[in-house]
Structure 1
Amino acid sequence: MSLKVSSRRHLVAQSEIRSMSIECARVGGINLAQGVCDLPVPEVVIQGAQDAMDRGTNIYTRFDGRYELRKAIADKQKRFTGMEVDPDGQVVASAGATGAFYAACLALLEEGDEVIVFEPYYGYHIVTMASLGIKPVYVTLEPPDWGFSAQSLEDAVTAKTRAIILNTPSNPAGKVFSREELGIIADFAEAHDIFVFTDEIYEHFVFDGHEHISPATLPGMARRTITISGLSKVFAITGWRLGYAICDPEWALAIGHFSDLVYVCAPAPLQIGAARGLAELGPDYYQSVSDDHQHKRDLFCDTLRDIGLTPHVPDGAYYTLADVTSLPGDTARERALYLLEKTGVACVPGSAFYQGAVGESLARFCFAKEMDILEDAMQRLRSL
């Protein structure tokens, strides 16, 4: 008997991030590979979820999420970006930001479409599109400021281009796109009449006075932008799977229906917990998150410099890409495994974020760890 499997099967092999996490667990090391934030979960968030369970909020929600959460998302978006958002027509709560992105791709893109992607990229964006028969077309950001030009976008566009993906602040480079750069992207999107999918999950992890600007707030961008974010990082609840999309009501309805088809809904009581956090935690909370991670970034990047792994210091998010060519090995994976063997510290090979050879000289480290764990990791790295 020869049973056939889907041609998509090879597209979703285990990611390098999970692979290195498994290798790290095998040796009992410190996992700076996976982007799990070690902040304590705010008590108001936990208590809100517990109260909801106690009240019996344990059944399916509306296809686009509980009103309490949609309203809290809309209010928070207004506070931080100035966007006017209708919670009853423009917000779709889903199973994490990745779930919102998947539902948006199902709703708005066709097999054979092309989407422009900046690299270094987040691998889940690429695999999600590939599994749907959507082709990523790459524009490479150039260090040290991870810049690009309007011409580089024009060189990538074809008659099949339907969208561009923008991750700001970005994983893994930590780039915070400036208003000028967003203006270039906005002009390009309007000229070619394409969607802009944004991943803004790290919007509250911004350093050195940089400002996160939501692309949907730029003139003419509201209708064509699908704003995607979530609560996983800022509330340290990656396992709760709570994300959302904000967009024009026409797109939101379709995205919500596909989210319902794939996920039914995000967990009902956890939605209430997140809504409580959004409603009750003020600017000081978000500023403390940013300040804490800027301090950790500075300490960790100093350590990388001292051991000869020159870092690209991020302006946002909580990762740093570092030059690992001084380590033994011919590939980024070989160098990452060497580092794990010698120090017990896991990172992700840079090849996980590039289509070509550029990533073979790099590795990504996550510094969003409790201070004692980060200090242990830095001490181990200094043993090199």
Structure 2
Amino acid sequence: METATEKLRLSQISPRIMQSEIRSMTVECDRLGGINLAQGVCDTEVPSAVVENAIKAIHDGHNIYTRLDGIAPLREAIARKLAHYNGIQADPDSEVLVTSGATGALYAACLALFDPGDEVVLFEPFYGYHVNTLLSLRIQPIAVPMAMHTWEIDFDVLRTAITPRTRAIIVNSPSNPCGKVFTRSELEQIAVLAEEHDLFILTDEIYEYFLFDGTKHISPASLPGMAERTITISGLSKTFSITGWRIGYLTANKRWLASIGYFHDLTYVCAPSPFQYGSAAGLVEMTDTFYNEMAVEYQAKRDLLCGALQDAGFTPSIPPGAYYVLADVSSVPGATAKEKARNLLASTGVAGVAGTAFFTGGRGENILRFCFAKRDADLQRACNLLRDYRA
């Protein structure tokens, strides 16, 4: 008996959503036993307080579902942190949602706020999960290119990108993949457009503590008049090196948060309970000194990697934030960035990811992204291998 094919098929959106090139390079790197600078796994030490309190929570029996918005100690710690660091006042009982990673926060927010056919503007180079989350929900991403290497925004182009179907602008600062940190002036100009066109601002601030050369982080929700229309997304994955724990959070006006929380519950139920306790302890016990020292440590990692890339004959764009470097690798053989990434991995044992994962319109074919959130010994070994590279 033949299998019917009319209804046994993939959805219309499935062919447009492929496994990310980042994950593909991770698989290839694992196959070859290389050093993975492709994926932002943040392979550094977890603070002991975070680990110990997660283990304690398991032994204490905190292994069942939590409230859909997360445990009270974590929500309260997030609210204090938002007030202290971000200049955002949030009620932990009605305006803070603990999520299954920042990606879970974005997904739930998009389900709650947007309809199929709506448009959301974001800046290019972009994080692929932002684009593919929108596409998976039949929301149209509209990419506004930033100037290559300087990552400056052309606000005339941004204004032109806004149409009657536009519902929001996504800001990612510090940015994955280019490390751009949006200035107060840029955020104020975006805020003017958001108010003029009555748009939401979705801001992904997961790298908010990874700041270099004296750069300062500014949360859009802290700007005058922006709190009600801003959905602030962040998490502990990068800061505490717990990317596999899936502890993110979102803060928004209570007018929006209840619906966002419902869709997060529907999709994920809750973030892992014992990991919430460990994360809460980390937020309580880590002082400003911890975050400042982390920034100094990562700036040294950045400088080490950028120096090795230059020695290899590549041209890195020095990032002021986050923990990625985009580098021009025109000298690496290959007709496409994907081929260049695989050829470099085969030649050096170091994995980067194709720049085309972060651009539209054929841009990024001579660019690779490298991650420097690695243990010192592994990063040093990768840098030594890159310095030995000869095209």
The code of the aligned residue for 2:273 comes to A
Report how far residue 81 of structure 1 moved.
1.7
Query: Partner residue of 1:152?
Result: 157
SS in 2 for 1:360: coil
Structure 2 residue runs of 5 or longer lacking an equivalent are: none
Contact 1:150 1:188 in 2 (8 A): no
SS in 2 for 1:358: coil
Query: Partner residue of 1:168?
Result: 173
User: How many residues are treated as equivalent by the alignment?
Assistant: 384
Query: Partner residue of 2:347?
Result: 342
Contact 2:122 2:171 in 1 (8 A): yes
Contact 2:206 2:238 in 1 (8 A): yes
Contact 1:167 1:198 in 2 (8 A): yes
Q: Once superposed, which parts of structure 1, at least 4 consecutive aligned residues long, lie more than 4 Å away?
A: none
Query: Partner residue of 2:50?
Result: 45
1:72 aligns with 2:93: no
- Distance in 2 between residues matched to 1:142 and 1:26, nearest whole Å: 36
Contact 1:48 1:273 in 2 (8 A): yes
1:282 aligns with 2:287: yes
SS in 2 for 1:136: strand
- Distance in 2 between residues matched to 1:308 and 1:357, nearest whole Å: 23
- Distance in 2 between residues matched to 1:10 and 1:241, nearest whole Å: 27
Report how far residue 15 of structure 1 moved.
0.6
Contact 1:171 1:317 in 2 (8 A): yes
Query: Partner residue of 1:27?
Result: 32
Contact 1:65 1:93 in 2 (8 A): yes
Report how far residue 225 of structure 1 moved.
0.3
- Distance in 1 between residues matched to 2:188 and 2:41, nearest whole Å: 32
1:229 aligns with 2:266: no
Q: Percent of counterpart pairs with the same letter?
A: 55
Query: Partner residue of 2:299?
Result: 294
Contact 1:319 1:367 in 2 (8 A): yes
- Distance in 1 between residues matched to 2:113 and 2:342, nearest whole Å: 40
Report how far residue 14 of structure 1 moved.
1.1
SS in 1 for 2:147: coil
- Distance in 1 between residues matched to 2:285 and 2:316, nearest whole Å: 37
- Distance in 2 between residues matched to 1:98 and 1:24, nearest whole Å: 24
Q: How does 1:336-375 map to 2 (within 5 A)?
A: 336-375=341-380
Query: Partner residue of 1:58?
Result: 63
Report how far residue 217 of structure 1 moved.
0.3
Report how far residue 145 of structure 1 moved.
2.2
1:200 aligns with 2:201: no
RMSD (CA atoms): 0.8
Report how far residue 136 of structure 1 moved.
0.5
SS in 2 for 1:322: strand
- Distance in 2 between residues matched to 1:184 and 1:302, nearest whole Å: 35
Counterpart among 105, 124, 129 of residue 134 in structure 2: 129
Report how far residue 150 of structure 1 moved.
2.1
Q: How does 1:258-269 map to 2 (within 5 A)?
A: 258-269=263-274
Report how far residue 197 of structure 1 moved.
0.3
Query: Partner residue of 1:139?
Result: 144
SS in 1 for 2:69: coil
SS in 1 for 2:174: coil
Counterpart among 109, 116, 121 of residue 111 in structure 1: 116
The code of the aligned residue for 2:340 comes to R
SS in 1 for 2:364: helix
SS in 2 for 1:253: helix
Report how far residue 12 of structure 1 moved.
3.0
Tell me the alpha carbon deviations over residues 229-270 of structure 1, each in whole angstroms, 9 at most, x when there is no partner. Answer: 001000000110010110100111110000000000001111
Report how far residue 358 of structure 1 moved.
1.4
Query: Partner residue of 1:184?
Result: 189
1:251 aligns with 2:218: no
- Distance in 1 between residues matched to 2:213 and 2:65, nearest whole Å: 42
SS in 1 for 2:167: strand
- Distance in 2 between residues matched to 1:254 and 1:198, nearest whole Å: 18
The code of the aligned residue for 1:25 comes to D
Contact 2:146 2:154 in 1 (8 A): no
Report how far residue 144 of structure 1 moved.
3.0
SS in 1 for 2:234: strand
Tell me the alpha carbon deviations over residues 158-200 of structure 1, each in whole angstroms, 9 at most, x when there is no partner. Answer: 1100000000000000000000000110001000000000000
- Distance in 2 between residues matched to 1:285 and 1:255, nearest whole Å: 32
Greater mean deviation of Cα atoms: 28-37 or 137-146: 137-146
- Distance in 1 between residues matched to 2:362 and 2:13, nearest whole Å: 24
Q: What TM-score results when the alignment is normalised by the length of structure 2?
A: 0.97
Report how far residue 155 of structure 1 moved.
1.1
- Distance in 2 between residues matched to 1:50 and 1:343, nearest whole Å: 39
